[in-house]
Structure 1
Protein backbone atom coordinates (compact mmCIF):
# COMPACT_ATOMS: atom_id res chain seq x y z
CA UNK A 1 0.00 0.00 0.00
CA UNK A 2 1.35 3.43 -0.93
CA UNK A 3 1.99 5.81 1.95
CA UNK A 4 -0.06 9.00 1.32
CA UNK A 5 2.11 10.84 3.86
CA UNK A 6 5.43 10.39 2.06
CA UNK A 7 7.33 13.32 0.59
CA UNK A 8 6.27 16.96 0.87
CA UNK A 9 3.07 17.89 2.66
CA UNK A 10 2.23 21.55 3.15
CA UNK A 11 0.53 23.19 6.12
CA UNK A 12 -1.64 25.46 4.02
CA UNK A 13 -2.35 29.04 5.08
CA UNK A 14 -5.82 30.54 5.33
CA UNK A 15 -5.70 33.67 3.14
CA UNK A 16 -7.74 36.64 4.31
CA UNK A 17 -9.09 39.70 2.54
CA UNK A 18 -8.37 43.15 3.99
CA UNK A 19 -11.70 42.98 5.85
CA UNK A 20 -10.50 39.70 7.52
CA UNK A 21 -12.96 37.49 5.61
CA UNK A 22 -11.53 34.30 4.09
CA UNK A 23 -10.17 34.87 0.59
CA UNK A 24 -11.38 31.74 -1.23
CA UNK A 25 -9.99 32.85 -4.59
CA UNK A 26 -6.49 33.07 -3.11
CA UNK A 27 -6.98 29.71 -1.39
CA UNK A 28 -7.83 28.11 -4.74
CA UNK A 29 -4.75 29.71 -6.33
CA UNK A 30 -2.44 28.35 -3.62
CA UNK A 31 -3.89 24.84 -3.97
CA UNK A 32 -3.49 24.89 -7.76
CA UNK A 33 0.05 26.30 -7.49
CA UNK A 34 1.07 23.46 -5.17
CA UNK A 35 -0.56 20.72 -7.23
CA UNK A 36 1.19 22.03 -10.36
CA UNK A 37 4.60 22.18 -8.69
CA UNK A 38 5.10 18.82 -7.01
CA UNK A 39 3.58 19.01 -3.53
CA UNK A 40 2.52 15.51 -2.42
CA UNK A 41 -0.29 16.25 0.07
CA UNK A 42 -2.08 19.16 1.76
CA UNK A 43 -2.76 19.65 5.48
CA UNK A 44 -5.79 21.80 6.28
CA UNK A 45 -6.49 23.62 9.54
CA UNK A 46 -3.11 23.49 11.21
CA UNK A 47 -1.27 26.20 13.11
CA UNK A 48 -0.16 27.80 9.84
CA UNK A 49 -3.82 27.88 8.77
CA UNK A 50 -4.57 30.05 11.84
CA UNK A 51 -6.98 27.36 13.01
CA UNK A 52 -7.45 28.97 16.43
CA UNK A 53 -8.95 32.15 14.93
CA UNK A 54 -11.08 30.48 12.25
CA UNK A 55 -14.73 29.86 13.15
CA UNK A 56 -16.37 26.41 12.92
CA UNK A 57 -18.38 27.54 9.90
CA UNK A 58 -15.30 28.98 8.19
CA UNK A 59 -13.44 25.72 8.81
CA UNK A 60 -16.23 23.81 7.05
CA UNK A 61 -16.23 26.31 4.17
CA UNK A 62 -12.43 26.12 3.83
CA UNK A 63 -12.62 22.31 3.74
CA UNK A 64 -15.30 22.45 1.00
CA UNK A 65 -13.28 24.92 -1.06
CA UNK A 66 -10.05 22.90 -0.88
CA UNK A 67 -11.81 19.56 -1.51
CA UNK A 68 -13.55 21.05 -4.57
CA UNK A 69 -10.37 22.63 -5.97
CA UNK A 70 -8.23 19.58 -5.27
CA UNK A 71 -10.80 17.28 -6.90
CA UNK A 72 -9.11 14.11 -5.66
CA UNK A 73 -5.69 14.97 -7.08
CA UNK A 74 -3.67 15.02 -3.83
CA UNK A 75 -4.25 13.31 -0.47
CA UNK A 76 -5.73 15.69 2.11
CA UNK A 77 -5.13 15.72 5.87
CA UNK A 78 -7.37 17.57 8.33
CA UNK A 79 -6.19 19.11 11.59
CA UNK A 80 -8.41 18.02 14.49
CA UNK A 81 -6.84 18.45 17.90
CA UNK A 82 -6.94 20.37 21.13
CA UNK A 83 -6.56 20.23 24.88
CA UNK A 84 -10.10 19.06 25.67
CA UNK A 85 -10.13 15.37 24.80
CA UNK A 86 -13.93 15.13 24.81
CA UNK A 87 -14.24 18.06 22.39
CA UNK A 88 -11.65 16.56 20.02
CA UNK A 89 -13.57 13.26 19.97
CA UNK A 90 -16.84 15.11 19.43
CA UNK A 91 -15.37 16.95 16.41
CA UNK A 92 -13.99 13.71 14.93
CA UNK A 93 -17.40 12.06 15.21
CA UNK A 94 -19.21 15.09 13.77
CA UNK A 95 -16.88 15.51 10.75
CA UNK A 96 -17.26 13.79 7.40
CA UNK A 97 -13.76 12.40 6.95
CA UNK A 98 -14.48 10.55 3.69
CA UNK A 99 -12.34 12.99 1.65
CA UNK A 100 -9.34 12.72 3.97
CA UNK A 101 -6.38 10.34 4.01
CA UNK A 102 -5.99 11.07 7.72
CA UNK A 103 -6.08 13.64 10.49
CA UNK A 104 -3.28 15.60 12.13
CA UNK A 105 -3.88 15.82 15.87
CA UNK A 106 -1.79 18.20 17.93
CA UNK A 107 -0.55 17.21 21.36
CA UNK A 108 -2.70 18.91 24.04
CA UNK A 109 -1.48 22.45 24.69
CA UNK A 110 -1.63 24.75 27.74
CA UNK A 111 -2.76 22.00 30.14
CA UNK A 112 0.74 20.43 30.27
CA UNK A 113 -0.35 16.81 30.93
CA UNK A 114 2.05 14.08 32.04
CA UNK A 115 3.30 11.54 29.51
CA UNK A 116 0.57 9.20 30.75
CA UNK A 117 -1.98 11.97 30.18
CA UNK A 118 -0.73 12.40 26.62
CA UNK A 119 -0.96 8.65 26.06
CA UNK A 120 -4.52 8.47 27.40
CA UNK A 121 -5.59 11.48 25.32
CA UNK A 122 -4.37 9.93 22.08
CA UNK A 123 -5.68 6.50 23.08
CA UNK A 124 -9.15 8.05 23.30
CA UNK A 125 -8.65 9.85 19.97
CA UNK A 126 -7.45 6.64 18.27
CA UNK A 127 -10.42 4.67 19.54
CA UNK A 128 -12.82 7.30 18.13
CA UNK A 129 -11.13 8.03 14.78
CA UNK A 130 -12.11 6.10 11.62
CA UNK A 131 -9.11 7.29 9.56
CA UNK A 132 -5.32 7.21 10.06
CA UNK A 133 -3.86 9.61 12.63
CA UNK A 134 -0.67 11.66 12.45
CA UNK A 135 0.37 12.73 15.95
CA UNK A 136 1.74 16.27 16.15
CA UNK A 137 4.41 17.07 18.73
CA UNK A 138 5.25 20.78 18.82
CA UNK A 139 6.54 21.62 22.32
CA UNK A 140 7.38 25.20 21.37
CA UNK A 141 3.63 25.82 21.10
CA UNK A 142 2.20 23.30 23.57
CA UNK A 143 4.71 23.84 26.42
CA UNK A 144 5.03 20.07 26.81
CA UNK A 145 7.27 17.70 24.87
CA UNK A 146 5.80 14.33 23.99
CA UNK A 147 8.69 11.96 24.60
CA UNK A 148 9.80 9.43 21.97
CA UNK A 149 8.82 6.72 24.45
CA UNK A 150 5.20 7.99 24.53
CA UNK A 151 5.03 8.45 20.75
CA UNK A 152 6.37 4.94 20.11
CA UNK A 153 4.10 3.40 22.75
CA UNK A 154 1.14 4.89 20.88
CA UNK A 155 2.55 3.73 17.53
CA UNK A 156 2.84 0.17 18.78
CA UNK A 157 -0.54 0.06 20.55
CA UNK A 158 -2.83 1.58 17.87
CA UNK A 159 -2.80 0.55 14.22
CA UNK A 160 -4.48 3.76 13.09
CA UNK A 161 -1.70 5.91 14.61
CA UNK A 162 0.53 5.77 11.55
CA UNK A 163 2.92 8.74 11.85
CA UNK A 164 4.17 11.62 13.94
CA UNK A 165 4.79 15.16 12.77
CA UNK A 166 7.73 15.89 15.04
CA UNK A 167 8.47 19.60 15.46
CA UNK A 168 10.60 19.81 18.57
CA UNK A 169 13.60 21.15 16.61
CA UNK A 170 15.67 18.47 18.35
CA UNK A 171 17.77 16.24 16.08
CA UNK A 172 18.56 13.80 18.88
CA UNK A 173 14.84 13.22 19.44
CA UNK A 174 14.29 12.61 15.72
CA UNK A 175 17.08 10.05 15.67
CA UNK A 176 15.69 8.24 18.71
CA UNK A 177 12.29 8.00 16.99
CA UNK A 178 13.85 6.78 13.74
CA UNK A 179 15.97 4.20 15.55
CA UNK A 180 13.16 2.69 17.62
CA UNK A 181 10.00 3.10 15.53
CA UNK A 182 7.94 0.22 14.12
CA UNK A 183 8.74 -0.42 10.45
CA UNK A 184 5.37 0.83 9.19
CA UNK A 185 5.35 4.01 11.32
CA UNK A 186 6.44 7.29 9.68
CA UNK A 187 8.45 10.11 11.22
CA UNK A 188 7.54 13.34 9.42
CA UNK A 189 9.52 16.49 10.07
CA UNK A 190 7.70 19.65 11.10
CA UNK A 191 10.96 21.63 11.11
CA UNK A 192 11.77 23.06 7.68
CA UNK A 193 15.37 23.72 8.73
CA UNK A 194 16.05 20.12 9.88
CA UNK A 195 13.96 18.12 7.43
CA UNK A 196 16.67 17.16 4.97
CA UNK A 197 18.86 15.59 7.67
CA UNK A 198 15.80 13.82 9.09
CA UNK A 199 14.79 12.50 5.66
CA UNK A 200 18.30 11.25 4.90
CA UNK A 201 18.29 9.46 8.27
CA UNK A 202 15.10 7.56 7.37
CA UNK A 203 12.29 10.08 7.83
CA UNK A 204 9.24 10.17 5.55
CA UNK A 205 9.61 13.82 4.53
CA UNK A 206 7.91 16.93 5.83
CA UNK A 207 4.77 18.87 6.60
CA UNK A 208 6.21 22.19 5.56
CA UNK A 209 5.46 25.89 5.88
CA UNK A 210 7.88 27.24 3.24
CA UNK A 211 7.05 24.36 0.89
CA UNK A 212 3.79 25.98 -0.21
CA UNK A 213 5.67 29.03 -1.52
CA UNK A 214 8.58 27.12 -3.10
CA UNK A 215 6.90 23.79 -3.87
CA UNK A 216 9.01 22.84 -6.87
CA UNK A 217 12.35 23.36 -5.16
CA UNK A 218 11.30 22.06 -1.75
CA UNK A 219 9.58 18.92 -3.00
CA UNK A 220 12.56 18.20 -5.29
CA UNK A 221 14.89 18.50 -2.27
CA UNK A 222 12.75 16.09 -0.25
CA UNK A 223 12.54 13.60 -3.11
CA UNK A 224 16.33 13.68 -3.48
CA UNK A 225 16.60 13.10 0.28
CA UNK A 226 14.26 10.10 0.08
CA UNK A 227 16.49 8.73 -2.68
CA UNK A 228 19.62 9.26 -0.55
CA UNK A 229 21.08 11.82 -2.95
CA UNK A 230 22.54 14.01 -0.22
CA UNK A 231 24.84 16.22 -2.30
CA UNK A 232 22.15 17.28 -4.77
CA UNK A 233 19.59 17.71 -1.98
CA UNK A 234 21.88 19.88 0.14
CA UNK A 235 22.57 22.16 -2.83
CA UNK A 236 18.85 23.02 -2.79
CA UNK A 237 18.74 23.19 1.02
CA UNK A 238 21.57 25.74 1.10
CA UNK A 239 19.74 27.83 -1.51
CA UNK A 240 16.61 27.98 0.71
CA UNK A 241 18.20 28.31 4.17
CA UNK A 242 17.81 32.08 4.43
CA UNK A 243 14.11 32.15 3.54
CA UNK A 244 13.35 29.39 6.05
CA UNK A 245 14.84 31.59 8.77
CA UNK A 246 13.07 34.71 7.50
CA UNK A 247 9.55 33.27 7.55
CA UNK A 248 9.85 32.54 11.28
CA UNK A 249 11.59 35.82 12.16
CA UNK A 250 8.39 37.50 13.42
CA UNK A 251 5.56 34.98 13.63
CA UNK A 252 4.04 32.14 11.66
CA UNK A 253 2.10 32.51 9.37
CA UNK A 254 2.86 36.23 8.91
CA UNK A 255 6.21 35.32 7.37
CA UNK A 256 4.95 32.76 4.88
CA UNK A 257 2.08 35.07 3.91
CA UNK A 258 4.69 37.72 3.11
CA UNK A 259 6.36 35.24 0.73
CA UNK A 260 3.02 34.31 -0.83
CA UNK A 261 2.31 38.04 -1.15
CA UNK A 262 5.56 38.41 -3.09
CA UNK A 263 4.32 35.65 -5.42
CA UNK A 264 0.92 37.38 -5.84
CA UNK A 265 -0.86 34.37 -4.36
CA UNK A 266 -2.44 36.10 -1.34
CA UNK A 267 -2.09 39.23 0.73
CA UNK A 268 -0.33 39.57 4.09
CA UNK A 269 -3.40 39.81 6.33
CA UNK A 270 -3.51 37.73 9.51
CA UNK A 271 -6.01 37.77 12.37
CA UNK A 272 -5.26 39.16 15.82
CA UNK A 273 -3.47 38.46 18.07
CA UNK A 274 -1.08 37.96 15.15
CA UNK A 275 0.00 40.98 13.14
CA UNK A 276 1.17 41.03 9.53
CA UNK A 277 4.83 41.07 8.57
CA UNK A 278 6.58 44.40 9.01
CA UNK A 279 7.79 46.33 5.99
CA UNK A 280 11.36 45.49 7.04
CA UNK A 281 10.65 41.75 6.88
CA UNK A 282 8.71 42.08 3.62
CA UNK A 283 11.69 43.92 2.10
CA UNK A 284 14.11 41.17 3.20
CA UNK A 285 11.78 38.53 1.75
CA UNK A 286 11.36 40.47 -1.51
CA UNK A 287 15.16 40.78 -1.83
CA UNK A 288 15.61 37.05 -1.24
CA UNK A 289 12.93 36.08 -3.75
CA UNK A 290 14.33 38.42 -6.38
CA UNK A 291 17.78 36.84 -6.05
CA UNK A 292 16.41 33.30 -5.67
CA UNK A 293 14.92 33.27 -9.14
CA UNK A 294 18.02 34.89 -10.68
CA UNK A 295 20.40 32.22 -9.40
Structure 2
Protein backbone atom coordinates (compact mmCIF):
# COMPACT_ATOMS: atom_id res chain seq x y z
CA UNK A 1 0.00 0.00 0.00
CA UNK A 2 3.00 2.32 -0.10
CA UNK A 3 1.95 3.34 -3.61
CA UNK A 4 -1.51 4.34 -2.40
CA UNK A 5 -0.62 6.65 0.47
CA UNK A 6 -2.04 10.14 0.63
CA UNK A 7 -4.50 11.57 -1.88
CA UNK A 8 -6.34 9.48 -4.43
CA UNK A 9 -9.21 10.72 -6.57
CA UNK A 10 -12.28 8.87 -7.85
CA UNK A 11 -12.30 10.31 -11.36
CA UNK A 12 -15.55 11.49 -12.92
CA UNK A 13 -16.36 10.29 -16.43
CA UNK A 14 -16.84 13.37 -18.64
CA UNK A 15 -19.63 13.14 -21.22
CA UNK A 16 -20.39 15.15 -24.33
CA UNK A 17 -23.75 16.91 -24.61
CA UNK A 18 -25.15 13.82 -26.39
CA UNK A 19 -24.10 11.55 -23.52
CA UNK A 20 -21.12 9.92 -25.24
CA UNK A 21 -17.80 9.77 -23.39
CA UNK A 22 -15.70 12.90 -23.83
CA UNK A 23 -12.19 11.48 -23.99
CA UNK A 24 -10.59 14.87 -24.65
CA UNK A 25 -11.96 16.14 -21.34
CA UNK A 26 -10.97 12.92 -19.59
CA UNK A 27 -7.42 13.44 -20.80
CA UNK A 28 -7.46 17.02 -19.52
CA UNK A 29 -8.79 15.84 -16.17
CA UNK A 30 -6.14 13.15 -15.80
CA UNK A 31 -3.32 15.57 -16.60
CA UNK A 32 -4.80 18.15 -14.22
CA UNK A 33 -4.83 15.62 -11.38
CA UNK A 34 -1.24 14.53 -11.92
CA UNK A 35 0.13 18.03 -12.50
CA UNK A 36 -1.59 19.29 -9.32
CA UNK A 37 -0.03 16.59 -7.13
CA UNK A 38 -2.64 13.85 -6.80
CA UNK A 39 -0.88 10.69 -5.64
CA UNK A 40 -3.03 8.13 -7.47
CA UNK A 41 -6.18 7.84 -9.58
CA UNK A 42 -9.24 5.62 -9.29
CA UNK A 43 -10.70 4.87 -12.71
CA UNK A 44 -14.40 4.01 -12.77
CA UNK A 45 -15.18 4.11 -9.12
CA UNK A 46 -18.84 4.82 -8.43
CA UNK A 47 -18.18 8.56 -8.89
CA UNK A 48 -17.34 7.68 -12.51
CA UNK A 49 -21.04 6.77 -13.05
CA UNK A 50 -19.88 3.23 -13.73
CA UNK A 51 -23.37 1.82 -13.28
CA UNK A 52 -24.46 3.63 -16.45
CA UNK A 53 -21.51 2.53 -18.61
CA UNK A 54 -21.63 -0.65 -20.64
CA UNK A 55 -18.82 -3.20 -20.86
CA UNK A 56 -17.36 -1.72 -24.05
CA UNK A 57 -17.32 1.79 -22.58
CA UNK A 58 -15.66 0.63 -19.37
CA UNK A 59 -12.86 -1.01 -21.34
CA UNK A 60 -12.43 2.11 -23.46
CA UNK A 61 -12.12 4.30 -20.34
CA UNK A 62 -9.63 1.96 -18.69
CA UNK A 63 -7.50 1.63 -21.83
CA UNK A 64 -7.51 5.39 -22.37
CA UNK A 65 -6.65 6.10 -18.74
CA UNK A 66 -3.67 3.73 -18.73
CA UNK A 67 -2.35 5.30 -21.94
CA UNK A 68 -2.90 8.88 -20.73
CA UNK A 69 -1.34 8.30 -17.31
CA UNK A 70 1.66 6.60 -18.91
CA UNK A 71 2.95 5.24 -15.58
CA UNK A 72 3.17 8.70 -13.98
CA UNK A 73 1.03 7.68 -10.98
CA UNK A 74 -0.62 4.43 -9.80
CA UNK A 75 -4.13 3.63 -11.07
CA UNK A 76 -6.84 1.72 -9.20
CA UNK A 77 -9.73 0.20 -11.16
CA UNK A 78 -13.25 0.18 -9.75
CA UNK A 79 -14.95 -3.18 -10.30
CA UNK A 80 -17.93 -3.93 -8.07
CA UNK A 81 -21.63 -4.63 -7.97
CA UNK A 82 -24.40 -6.64 -6.39
CA UNK A 83 -24.15 -9.68 -8.69
CA UNK A 84 -21.16 -11.62 -7.37
CA UNK A 85 -20.97 -13.89 -10.41
CA UNK A 86 -20.90 -10.90 -12.78
CA UNK A 87 -18.24 -9.08 -10.71
CA UNK A 88 -16.04 -12.20 -10.80
CA UNK A 89 -16.61 -12.44 -14.56
CA UNK A 90 -15.49 -8.82 -15.00
CA UNK A 91 -12.38 -9.43 -12.90
CA UNK A 92 -11.50 -12.58 -14.83
CA UNK A 93 -11.71 -10.63 -18.11
CA UNK A 94 -9.97 -7.49 -16.86
CA UNK A 95 -6.62 -6.48 -18.35
CA UNK A 96 -4.53 -5.69 -15.28
CA UNK A 97 -1.67 -4.06 -17.19
CA UNK A 98 -1.11 -0.56 -15.85
CA UNK A 99 -3.17 -1.05 -12.68
CA UNK A 100 -2.02 -1.28 -9.08
CA UNK A 101 -5.19 -2.49 -7.32
CA UNK A 102 -8.95 -2.98 -7.54
CA UNK A 103 -11.56 -1.03 -5.58
CA UNK A 104 -14.76 -3.01 -5.10
CA UNK A 105 -17.91 -1.59 -3.53
CA UNK A 106 -19.89 -3.70 -1.06
CA UNK A 107 -23.00 -5.21 -2.69
CA UNK A 108 -25.83 -2.71 -2.96
CA UNK A 109 -29.64 -3.11 -2.91
CA UNK A 110 -29.62 -6.83 -1.99
CA UNK A 111 -28.86 -5.97 1.68
CA UNK A 112 -26.89 -9.16 2.38
CA UNK A 113 -26.10 -10.31 5.90
CA UNK A 114 -22.46 -10.17 7.02
CA UNK A 115 -21.79 -13.73 5.86
CA UNK A 116 -23.08 -12.80 2.40
CA UNK A 117 -20.74 -9.79 2.27
CA UNK A 118 -17.86 -12.01 3.38
CA UNK A 119 -18.60 -14.67 0.75
CA UNK A 120 -18.95 -11.97 -1.95
CA UNK A 121 -15.48 -10.62 -1.23
CA UNK A 122 -14.07 -14.12 -0.80
CA UNK A 123 -15.10 -14.87 -4.40
CA UNK A 124 -13.52 -11.60 -5.57
CA UNK A 125 -10.28 -12.24 -3.65
CA UNK A 126 -9.96 -15.70 -5.15
CA UNK A 127 -10.47 -14.32 -8.67
CA UNK A 128 -8.29 -11.21 -8.54
CA UNK A 129 -4.65 -11.04 -9.57
CA UNK A 130 -4.44 -7.53 -8.09
CA UNK A 131 -4.66 -6.34 -4.48
CA UNK A 132 -8.20 -5.43 -3.43
CA UNK A 133 -9.52 -2.38 -1.60
CA UNK A 134 -12.89 -2.95 0.07
CA UNK A 135 -15.41 -0.11 -0.15
CA UNK A 136 -18.03 0.33 2.54
CA UNK A 137 -20.61 3.05 1.82
CA UNK A 138 -23.83 2.05 3.63
CA UNK A 139 -25.63 5.28 2.72
CA UNK A 140 -25.63 4.09 -0.88
CA UNK A 141 -25.54 0.31 -0.59
CA UNK A 142 -28.26 -0.10 2.04
CA UNK A 143 -26.09 -2.32 4.24
CA UNK A 144 -23.05 -1.82 6.44
CA UNK A 145 -19.96 -3.98 6.35
CA UNK A 146 -19.16 -4.43 10.01
CA UNK A 147 -15.65 -3.98 11.43
CA UNK A 148 -15.64 -7.67 12.30
CA UNK A 149 -16.31 -8.62 8.68
CA UNK A 150 -13.69 -6.15 7.43
CA UNK A 151 -11.06 -7.54 9.80
CA UNK A 152 -12.05 -11.14 9.02
CA UNK A 153 -11.54 -10.51 5.30
CA UNK A 154 -8.23 -8.78 5.96
CA UNK A 155 -7.02 -11.72 8.04
CA UNK A 156 -8.21 -14.44 5.65
CA UNK A 157 -7.08 -12.99 2.31
CA UNK A 158 -3.61 -11.45 1.96
CA UNK A 159 -4.62 -9.72 -1.29
CA UNK A 160 -7.35 -7.74 0.52
CA UNK A 161 -5.09 -4.89 1.55
CA UNK A 162 -7.29 -1.94 2.56
CA UNK A 163 -10.78 -0.61 3.06
CA UNK A 164 -12.26 2.64 1.83
CA UNK A 165 -14.61 3.55 4.68
CA UNK A 166 -17.51 5.91 4.00
CA UNK A 167 -19.78 4.89 6.85
CA UNK A 168 -19.12 8.08 8.81
CA UNK A 169 -18.97 5.97 11.96
CA UNK A 170 -15.90 6.72 14.05
CA UNK A 171 -16.64 3.90 16.47
CA UNK A 172 -16.36 1.63 13.43
CA UNK A 173 -13.12 3.27 12.27
CA UNK A 174 -11.62 2.87 15.74
CA UNK A 175 -12.54 -0.81 15.86
CA UNK A 176 -10.98 -1.47 12.44
CA UNK A 177 -7.78 0.33 13.44
CA UNK A 178 -7.59 -1.57 16.71
CA UNK A 179 -8.17 -5.07 15.30
CA UNK A 180 -6.82 -5.03 11.74
CA UNK A 181 -3.61 -6.77 10.66
CA UNK A 182 -0.58 -4.48 10.68
CA UNK A 183 -0.31 -4.51 6.88
CA UNK A 184 -3.99 -3.65 6.25
CA UNK A 185 -4.87 0.00 5.64
CA UNK A 186 -7.81 2.28 6.37
CA UNK A 187 -8.67 4.91 3.72
CA UNK A 188 -11.16 7.74 4.11
CA UNK A 189 -14.11 7.57 1.72
CA UNK A 190 -15.58 10.94 2.76
CA UNK A 191 -13.77 14.21 2.08
CA UNK A 192 -15.01 16.03 5.23
CA UNK A 193 -13.58 13.40 7.60
CA UNK A 194 -10.19 12.88 5.99
CA UNK A 195 -8.34 14.90 8.60
CA UNK A 196 -9.78 13.14 11.68
CA UNK A 197 -9.57 9.72 10.04
CA UNK A 198 -5.90 10.24 9.25
CA UNK A 199 -5.37 11.44 12.81
CA UNK A 200 -6.40 7.96 14.05
CA UNK A 201 -4.27 6.16 11.47
CA UNK A 202 -5.92 6.21 8.03
CA UNK A 203 -3.39 6.49 5.22
CA UNK A 204 -5.31 9.04 3.13
CA UNK A 205 -8.44 9.67 1.08
CA UNK A 206 -10.09 8.50 -2.12
CA UNK A 207 -11.63 11.86 -2.85
CA UNK A 208 -14.54 13.27 -4.85
CA UNK A 209 -13.85 16.97 -4.37
CA UNK A 210 -10.27 16.24 -5.39
CA UNK A 211 -11.49 16.12 -8.98
CA UNK A 212 -11.83 19.90 -8.81
CA UNK A 213 -9.28 20.68 -6.07
CA UNK A 214 -6.46 18.14 -6.38
CA UNK A 215 -3.75 20.47 -5.14
CA UNK A 216 -5.65 21.29 -1.95
CA UNK A 217 -6.66 17.70 -1.18
CA UNK A 218 -3.11 16.45 -1.77
CA UNK A 219 -1.74 19.23 0.44
CA UNK A 220 -4.19 18.35 3.21
CA UNK A 221 -3.14 14.69 3.31
CA UNK A 222 0.53 15.67 3.15
CA UNK A 223 0.09 18.10 6.05
CA UNK A 224 -1.63 15.52 8.25
CA UNK A 225 1.03 12.91 7.44
CA UNK A 226 3.65 15.44 8.56
CA UNK A 227 1.69 16.20 11.76
CA UNK A 228 1.20 19.78 10.56
CA UNK A 229 -2.33 20.13 11.87
CA UNK A 230 -2.37 23.92 11.65
CA UNK A 231 -2.03 23.75 7.86
CA UNK A 232 -4.30 20.72 7.65
CA UNK A 233 -7.11 22.43 9.57
CA UNK A 234 -6.96 25.49 7.30
CA UNK A 235 -7.29 23.32 4.19
CA UNK A 236 -9.98 21.17 5.82
CA UNK A 237 -12.10 24.19 6.76
CA UNK A 238 -11.64 25.86 3.37
CA UNK A 239 -13.02 22.81 1.55
CA UNK A 240 -16.02 22.07 3.78
CA UNK A 241 -18.60 24.32 2.08
CA UNK A 242 -17.67 23.43 -1.49
CA UNK A 243 -17.69 19.75 -0.57
CA UNK A 244 -21.23 20.04 0.78
CA UNK A 245 -22.28 21.74 -2.46
CA UNK A 246 -20.76 18.92 -4.50
CA UNK A 247 -23.20 16.45 -2.93
CA UNK A 248 -26.34 18.51 -2.34
CA UNK A 249 -27.95 17.30 -5.59
CA UNK A 250 -26.12 14.03 -6.03
CA UNK A 251 -22.65 12.85 -6.92
CA UNK A 252 -20.96 13.59 -9.32
CA UNK A 253 -23.37 16.30 -10.46
CA UNK A 254 -21.91 19.08 -8.31
CA UNK A 255 -18.26 18.34 -8.92
CA UNK A 256 -18.85 18.05 -12.67
CA UNK A 257 -20.32 21.54 -12.67
CA UNK A 258 -17.24 22.84 -10.85
CA UNK A 259 -14.96 21.12 -13.36
CA UNK A 260 -16.88 22.72 -16.21
CA UNK A 261 -16.75 26.13 -14.51
CA UNK A 262 -12.97 25.76 -14.09
CA UNK A 263 -12.55 24.74 -17.74
CA UNK A 264 -11.22 21.24 -16.99
CA UNK A 265 -14.09 19.47 -18.77
CA UNK A 266 -16.32 20.84 -21.52
CA UNK A 267 -19.74 19.75 -20.22
CA UNK A 268 -21.27 18.90 -16.86
CA UNK A 269 -23.42 16.25 -18.53
CA UNK A 270 -24.44 13.28 -16.38
CA UNK A 271 -26.34 10.16 -17.42
CA UNK A 272 -29.87 9.48 -16.27
CA UNK A 273 -31.18 8.92 -13.70
CA UNK A 274 -28.83 11.72 -12.59
CA UNK A 275 -29.48 15.24 -13.87
CA UNK A 276 -27.29 18.38 -13.77
CA UNK A 277 -27.48 20.61 -10.71
CA UNK A 278 -30.11 23.33 -10.62
CA UNK A 279 -29.53 27.03 -11.25
CA UNK A 280 -29.81 27.66 -7.51
CA UNK A 281 -26.99 25.24 -6.71
CA UNK A 282 -24.89 26.56 -9.60
CA UNK A 283 -25.19 30.04 -8.14
CA UNK A 284 -24.16 28.83 -4.69
CA UNK A 285 -21.19 26.97 -6.17
CA UNK A 286 -20.13 30.03 -8.18
CA UNK A 287 -20.20 32.15 -5.04
CA UNK A 288 -18.07 29.67 -3.13
CA UNK A 289 -15.61 29.31 -6.01
CA UNK A 290 -15.10 33.07 -5.93
CA UNK A 291 -14.15 32.82 -2.25
CA UNK A 292 -11.69 30.00 -2.92
CA UNK A 293 -9.80 31.77 -5.70
TM-score scaled by length of structure 1: 0.97
**Partner Cα separation in structure 2 for residue 186 and residue 82 of structure 1:** 22
**Partner Cα separation in structure 1 for residue 123 and residue 51 of structure 2:** 22
Give the Å deviation of 1:180.
1.7
**Structure 1 counterpart of 2:191:** 192
**Partner Cα separation in structure 2 for residue 166 and residue 243 of structure 1:** 21
**Partner Cα separation in structure 2 for residue 273 and residue 279 of structure 1:** 18
**Partner Cα separation in structure 2 for residue 279 and residue 4 of structure 1:** 40
2:280 is equivalent to residue 269 of structure 1: no
2:151 is equivalent to residue 152 of structure 1: yes
Gaps of 5+ in 2: none
Deviations 1:114-158 (A, max 9, x none): 101111111111011111000011101110000000000000111
**Structure 1 counterpart of 2:286:** 286
Give the Å deviation of 1:290.
1.3
Give the Å deviation of 1:283.
1.2
Q: 1:41-190 to 2 correspondence within 5 Å?
A: 41-190=40-189
Write out the 4+ residue segments of structure 1 that deviate beyond 3 Å after TM superposition: none
Give the Å deviation of 1:200.
1.4
Conserved? CA contact 1:137–1:165, under 8 Å: yes
Give the Å deviation of 1:260.
0.5
Deviations 1:92-113 (A, max 9, x none): 1111112110000111111111
**Partner Cα separation in structure 1 for residue 281 and residue 109 of structure 2:** 30
Give the Å deviation of 1:228.
1.8
Gaps of 5+ in 1: none
Deviations 1:251-286 (A, max 9, x none): 000011011111111221100000001111111111
Deviations 1:195-246 (A, max 9, x none): 1100111101000000121111110001111122212100111111100111
Deviations 1:164-198 (A, max 9, x none): 00111222211221222111111001011111100
Conserved? CA contact 1:254–1:270, under 8 Å: yes
